[in-house]
């Protein structure tokens, strides 16, 4: 039986390599009553989870970057909840479980089982992956920069949620707007570091770019990592929105360098479950 499982998984991964089309999870932009424009995934709404992705028409992008506590208060008000937790994001593989608001530590994964506690991930090109349990046991996010992806941040968040009582088959994972494979040019040394860190199968996450340098597909790398961690492929969604291409909506470190602000990708368990 185990062998059949492995064959099926390899077939799915091979198909993903050949066919870049994926579920967007019903990602869309919508206007809130306060004037903010936010992104939302129908797939997370269907799972009964609170979430949103902020844009330039939302909390100030410099505030999200430099004063996430203040941005968090605005976001919590909009969501009708009470407290927000965030991380000092450091591009590594560590996951923190938090029970109250404020800075939860230096890490790139954050998880909670506390209803109504809003988790705030910050991004200026890096994929933030929002992960929730259909049965409302826990929510979390991974800040999956290339270094954190090599460090295994996304499967580490999944494992921590399973430790807290989630069944991996009940998890829904959504990859928020971030630098896309068409735009994410990297050096050969990054490609070599990724392949030696993740394994030979990571060759499939790269394609040659027109400028001669490889392009790294972080969406594919994190989708693959989620599947290998046991998340059902049909429960993994990619917004498909590139922050370099849509710099009008989202701050981008690659476009704006050190002046770039950050947008927030946010998830919470509702209070009434
Ligand atoms: Zn792009």
Q: Domain of 129: which CATH number?
A: 3.60.140.10
- Is 15 a member of any domain? no
User: How many whole angstroms from 149 Cα to the centroid of ligand 1?
Assistant: 19
User: How many whole angstroms from 220 Cα to the centroid of ligand 1?
Assistant: 15
Question: How far lies 188's CA from each of 209, 214, 216, 255, in Å?
Answer: 12, 7, 10, 21
Q: Domain span at residue 68?
A: 21-268
Pairing relationship of beta strands 83-88 and 102-106 according to DSSP bridges: parallel
Coil, helix or strand at residue 157: helix
CA–CA dist 123, 238 (Å, integer): 15
pLDDT averaged over 10-residue windows placed end to end, the chain, 273 residues: 40 42 89 97 98 97 96 97 97 98 98 98 97 98 98 98 98 97 96 97 95 95 97 96 96 93 97 85
In the prediction, which pLDDT does 273 show? 72
In the prediction, which pLDDT does 272 show? 87
- Is 200 a member of any domain? yes
User: How many whole angstroms from 4 Cα to the centroid of ligand 1?
Assistant: 38
Structural domain total, the chain: 1
In the prediction, which pLDDT does 55 show? 97
CA–CA dist 229, 219 (Å, integer): 15
In the prediction, which pLDDT does 5 show? 40
User: How many whole angstroms from 20 Cα to the centroid of ligand 1?
Assistant: 15
User: How many whole angstroms from 241 Cα to the centroid of ligand 1?
Assistant: 8
User: How many whole angstroms from 119 Cα to the centroid of ligand 1?
Assistant: 27
User: How many whole angstroms from 178 Cα to the centroid of ligand 1?
Assistant: 9
User: How many whole angstroms from 54 Cα to the centroid of ligand 1?
Assistant: 18
User: How many whole angstroms from 246 Cα to the centroid of ligand 1?
Assistant: 7
- Is 54 a member of any domain? yes
- Is 10 a member of any domain? no
Please give the torsion angle defined by the CA atoms of residues 95, 98, 103 and 105, in that order, rounded to the nearest 10 degrees.
Answer: -30
Task: Name the one residue in this structure whose structure tokens are 């849509």.
Answer: 246
- Is 16 a member of any domain? no
Coil, helix or strand at residue 203: helix
In the prediction, which pLDDT does 210 show? 87
User: How many whole angstroms from 207 Cα to the centroid of ligand 1?
Assistant: 15
User: How many whole angstroms from 69 Cα to the centroid of ligand 1?
Assistant: 30
User: How many whole angstroms from 183 Cα to the centroid of ligand 1?
Assistant: 4
Question: How far lies 169's CA from each of 40, 58, 188, 189, in Å?
Answer: 22, 33, 36, 36
In the prediction, which pLDDT does 7 show? 40
Report yes or no: 205 and 194 within 8 Å, Cβ to Cβ.
Answer: yes
CA–CA dist 165, 169 (Å, integer): 12
In the prediction, which pLDDT does 20 show? 43
Report yes or no: 164 and 171 within 8 Å, Cβ to Cβ.
Answer: no
User: How many whole angstroms from 224 Cα to the centroid of ligand 1?
Assistant: 21
Burial class (CB in 10 A: 0-12, 13-18, 19+), 202: buried
- Is 273 a member of any domain? no
In the prediction, which pLDDT does 4 show? 41
H/E run at residue 171: strand 171-175
């Amino acid at each position: 039986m185990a062998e059949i499982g492995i064959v099926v998984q390899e077939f799915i991964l091979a198909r993903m390599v050949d066919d870049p089309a994926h579920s967007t999870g019903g990602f869309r932009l919508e206007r809130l009553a306060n004037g903010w424009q936010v992104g939302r995934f129908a797939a997370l709404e269907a799972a009964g989870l609170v979430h949103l992705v902020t844009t330039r028409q939302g909390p100030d992008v410099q505030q999200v970057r430099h004063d996430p506590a203040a941005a968090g208060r605005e976001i919590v008000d909009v969501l009708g909840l009470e407290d927000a937790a965030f991380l000092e994001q450091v591009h590594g593989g560590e996951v923190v479980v938090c029970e109250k608001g404020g800075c939860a530590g230096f890490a790139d994964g954050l998880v909670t089982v506390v209803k109504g506690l809003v988790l705030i991930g910050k991004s200026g090109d890096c994929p933030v992956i929002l992960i929730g349990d259909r049965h409302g046991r826990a929510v979390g996010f991974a800040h999956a920069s290339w270094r954190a992806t090599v460090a295994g941040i996304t499967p580490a968040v999944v494992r921590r949620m399973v430790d807290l009582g989630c069944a991996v088959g009940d998890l829904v994972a959504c990859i928020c707007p971030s630098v896309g494979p068409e735009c994410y040019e990297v050096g050969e040394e990054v490609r070599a570091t990724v392949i030696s860190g993740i394994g030979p199968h990571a060759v499939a996450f790269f394609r040659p770019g027109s400028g001669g340098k490889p392009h790294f597909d972080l969406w594919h790398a994190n989708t693959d990592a989620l599947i290998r961690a046991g998340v059902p492929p049909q429960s993994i969604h990619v917004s498909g929105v590139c922050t370099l291409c849509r710099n009008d909506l989202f701050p981008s470190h690659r476009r704006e360098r050190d002046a770039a602000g950050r947008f927030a990708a946010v998830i919470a368990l509702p209070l009434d479950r």
